[in-house]
Amino acid sequence: MPDLISWEVASRVAASVAGYFPEPPRSEIQSLESDLLSVFPQAQAQVAGATGLTVPGKAAPLVMTRPEWAQANILSFKSTLTPILDKLAEKLPKWRMSSVSAGMAGVQLGAILGWFSSKVLGQFDVILADAGTESNQDQVYFVAPNIISVEMKYGFDQKQFRHWIALHELTHRAQFNGVAWMRDYFKGLVQDSISIANPDPAAFMASLKKVFDMIREGKNPLGENGPIGIFASPEQMVTLNKITGLMSLLEGHGDVVMNRAGAREILESVRFAEVFERRRNSQRGAAKLISQLLGTEAKMRQYHEGAKFVYKVEEVGGAELFDRIWERPENLPEIAEIRDPDLWIKRLGTRSADMILEI
């Protein structure tokens, strides 16, 4: 059975698009690698102290070029999607199984990942870590050209900025490696969102009609969940909202921890946070449209909404109340609760939290 996505085409296109952007001198990449290696033990301890999540093992930074990051993520996509796409292929008409359609899908995936390779600073890849060796579970990606470019553009202190972003990515490592059920829960959501996909052309046309209706009503069909939300069925939307709520929590928590854990050592952390907040809100025109199409605009909101949720929960019930999130999947906030933390607090709140809410 042929693949629905040509992974070879995706790799070539991603490498080509990623390679379009200039790379810094090798000496600067080596300097970044040296700084990250130096700060990682301290940053790992700071994250553990700030989160209470203990992770065995020693984390290691993996400094990458843009093409290397794109290729790593293609492997991650392939590991996740292949079993599900094989099942989906059984439902599709034969005309959808051609090498041409697989090649087009590969071009689209490769182009998206190639473009993303110029934006990402760091990443903890849960999927590929599980597909590899045990040591892979402790690797954190850092895209050298993007980090160096940001440092130069804003005149950031290199050592402090590198320490700061290390804290964010190590927080994600703590979330997935320090919470026993988090990895399987996250991967289950991703698999569910794909496995219930509907290849019926009639469903596709109904989704297009929904887009046109929203435009006539003056609504932005891309504003909430990007193109995924347009074509998602009601069943998929339930899973999509769970994913959105989870990612908002994890990203917002990552922002809170990165600013809190290194507050004493990273004197410029407040400036870093202010600059990144402006960056997330400054897109206009074509750049804004691309972000909507790729779903990255929704991701930018996740940082802000998730952080507000963390601060509100801690304000009401302290770390004790917030840490109930890590007890079991049922305690995770839904996206509506992320946006209105009082809903989650009333659902999971301790007695002291309920008393505060009644005052």
Domain CATH number, residue 46: 1.20.150.30
Residue 108's pLDDT is what? 83
Instruction: Answer yes or no: is 69 within a domain.
Output: yes
pLDDT tier at 133, thresholds 50, 70, 90: very low
Residue 128's pLDDT is what? 60
Range 110-129 average pLDDT: 84
Indicate whether 3 pLDDT > 60: yes
pLDDT tier at 113, thresholds 50, 70, 90: confident
Q: What is the mean pLDDT of the chain?
A: 79
Residue 218: exposed, middle, or buried by beta-carbon count in 10 A (0-12, 13-18, 19+)?
exposed
Instruction: Answer yes or no: is 57 within a domain.
Output: yes
pLDDT tier at 156, thresholds 50, 70, 90: very high
Residue 30's pLDDT is what? 95
pLDDT tens profile 159-214: 999 999 999 999 999 999 999 999 899 888 877 766 655 555 455 445 445 544 54
% residues pLDDT > 70 (the chain): 69
Range 343-349 average pLDDT: 90
pLDDT tens profile 238-276: 777 888 889 889 999 999 999 999 888 999 999 999 998
Instruction: Answer yes or no: is 75 within a domain.
Output: yes
Global confidence as pTM: 0.82
Instruction: Answer yes or no: is 239 within a domain.
Output: no
pLDDT tier at 356, thresholds 50, 70, 90: very low
Into how many domains does the chain fold? 1
Residue 202's pLDDT is what? 52
Instruction: Answer yes or no: is 159 within a domain.
Output: yes
Structural domain boundaries enclosing 18:
1-179
Q: Which residues pair with 141 in a beta bridge?
A: 62, 123
Residue 226's pLDDT is what? 47
Indicate whether 215 pLDDT > 60: no
Both tokens of residue 153? 């553009």
Residue 44's pLDDT is what? 94
Residue type, 179: V
Closest CA to 117 of 204, 20, 222: 20
The whole-angstrom separation of Cα 177 and Cα 171 is 10
Instruction: Answer yes or no: is 72 within a domain.
Output: yes
Instruction: Please list the alpha-helical segments (H only) found in the chain.
Output: 7-18, 26-51, 66-89, 99-116, 126-131, 144-154, 158-178, 182-195, 201-216, 226-231, 234-261, 269-281, 285-294, 296-322, 335-339, 341-348, 351-358
Which DSSP symbol is given to 98? Answer: S
Indicate whether 119 pLDDT > 80: yes
Residue 293's pLDDT is what? 40
Say if residues 142 and 232 touch (Cβ distance below 8 Å): no
3-state SS class at 272: helix
Handedness of CA 23, 28, 34, 37 (dihedral sign): negative
pLDDT tens profile 300-344: 567 788 999 999 999 999 999 999 999 999 999 988 999 999 999
CA-derived radius of gyration, the chain: 21
User: Which residues are CB-contacts of 68 (< 8 A; sequence separation ≥ 6)?
Assistant: none
pLDDT tens profile 44-70: 999 999 999 988 888 899 999 999 999
Instruction: Answer yes or no: is 185 within a domain.
Output: no
Instruction: Answer yes or no: is 19 within a domain.
Output: yes
